Structure 1
């Protein structure tokens, strides 16, 4: 096991909860040095920057700050995400645009800012899309637009960085996290919904970033085998 004081540095957006927190926990246990960009603090001892990822210039600055603090970056995992379901004509414009900013534009901003360090280390990027990045449903125009965008962005990025940085697109199905808690009842998974444990999805993330340079896992679909949003 790698010494956690000198192990590879992994930046996780949204690392204070949900999938991001599961990635932080698993990475730390595996000897990595996780750091986090979030609006809330992660577990004690993990370096972090308080940042609203909808502000993409702030997201870039937070990335550079953590890279400087840790002496570089070996991997980036863009696990931060949000959604407010609703019909297009019922969702306020600022809310619609915030979903796209957090889920798509911040993904690109953080990766862009991290590239100098990732290129130097021969590191890895794992972007987190969704099964709704390959399957469209009603009342999710913002989320689908953003996650379809993450899919396209990541596939183009993989072609652009081939031979320098490993790039993986993660397409998870629904997970048992607080992601659904603030939704109207009609948009919450039912009591019998088949949802994945975020720790299981985090294990797929660790599998991807553990690959040696030049041996990238290009895409991973991870979901419950009976989950209804599977494409």
Structure 2
């Protein structure tokens, strides 16, 4: 039986892995709170905000956490990409990837930290296999996800004994993340990708560990993931 998770804030909780984690939190008897650019179809408590705006991300976190009165976990699923050679990706698009994926993650965790410290809660950040393996035409995404890896490891060292910190490194999943890309940047039709609900189960596993037991890092991929190891 999965233990009750309490109140868990999920960024990017309106779609993809984030939505799968919201469903998993509900199934586990927890209360999800969502920050996303669009409202989640599940109807859970949420604030519509753009994670590219750090001030808006922090404000949205506080707006959700204050009425809840308690925060037990955070999962930072929100993420974007802008594929292409460095010289062909506009400065605005390149920087947006870093703003959402890295700085948005930091902003939410920073705002949630007092509540998490009070509850001895947990943070699970979402990096990527491209946060530990670099590929061409993905400079913004790799830079942002390598940054999430470094941030999370440093956060774990800084907050040891106060909150739990887990780094999730997922491979490709069957989500809308690849929609809108040109064909060369989409997984091939026969690619073996994970279901987001299966990856979500690993997030619940990390969030539900007993006090003092830390799952520091999780790599979750399909058995034939091409970007790992």
Q: Under TM normalisation by the shorter chain, which class is it? A: over 0.9
In 2, the alpha carbon distance for the partners of 1:213 and 1:37 equals 26
The alpha carbon displacement at 1:2 in A equals 9.2
Decide whether the 8 Å contact of 2:3 with 2:28 is kept in 1.
no
**What secondary structure sits across from 1:148 in the alignment?**
helix
Cα deviation code 1:110-152 (max 9, x no counterpart): 0000000000000000000000000000000000000000000
**What secondary structure sits across from 1:89 in the alignment?**
helix
Residue-pair matches, total: 229
In 2, the alpha carbon distance for the partners of 1:211 and 1:3 equals 9
Decide whether the 8 Å contact of 1:35 with 1:48 is kept in 2.
yes
Match of 1:105 in 2: 103
1:201 and 2:204 correspond:
no
Match of 1:44 in 2: 42
Q: Compared with structure 1, are the counterparts of its residues 3 and 134 closer, same or farther at alpha carbon in structure 2 (3 Å cutoff)?
A: closer
Structure 1 segments (4+ residues) deviating >2 Å: 1-4
The alpha carbon displacement at 1:3 in A equals 11
The alpha carbon displacement at 1:212 in A equals 1.7
Decide whether the 8 Å contact of 1:164 with 1:214 is kept in 2.
no
Q: Compared with structure 1, are the counterparts of its residues 224 and 44 closer, same or farther at alpha carbon in structure 2 (3 Å cutoff)?
A: closer
In 1, the alpha carbon distance for the partners of 2:162 and 2:14 equals 29
Match of 1:82 in 2: 80
Match of 2:134 in 1: 136
Decide whether the 8 Å contact of 1:64 with 1:114 is kept in 2.
yes
What is the TM-score with the length of structure 2 in the denominator?
0.97
In 2, the alpha carbon distance for the partners of 1:67 and 1:193 equals 39
Q: Which of 89, 93, 96 is the matching residue for 1:95?
A: 93
Structure 1: unaligned runs, 5 residues or longer = none
Decide whether the 8 Å contact of 1:126 with 1:167 is kept in 2.
yes
Q: Which of 114, 120, 123 is the matching residue for 1:122?
A: 120
Cα RMSD of the aligned pairs, angstroms, is: 1.4
What is the TM-score with the length of structure 1 in the denominator?
0.97
